[in-house]
Amino acid sequence: MTALKFLDLKSVPCPLNIVKIKLALEKLSNNEQLIVELDKGEPEEMVLNNLKDLGCFFEQINEHEKFLKIKILNEN
């Protein structure tokens, strides 16, 4: 069974949201997933590009007018 952790980063500025995601990923156990909500625009671009650079597997699971929700899989 996969455990889910949730991180609400709406209204959190860059690059603080990236730092918070990295810290949360370090605390995840094997096969845990991190659900993140973040604002659209610059935070979305910065976080998604950074996750790609880190080689993280993620998918967008929901999109709202002002924010989106992504799921990040921890494969450690």
Distance between CA 31 and CA 17 in Å, rounded?
Answer: 22
Q: What would the CATH number be for the domain defined by 4-73? A: 3.30.110.40
Burial 44-66 (b: 16+ CB within 10 A, else e): bebbbebbeeeebebeeeeeeee
Q: Each residue of 18-31: pLDDT tens digit? A: 999 999 999 998 87
Residue ranges of domains in the chain:
4-73
| Claim: this prediction has a pTM higher than 0.85 | yes
Higher pLDDT, 1 or 74: 74
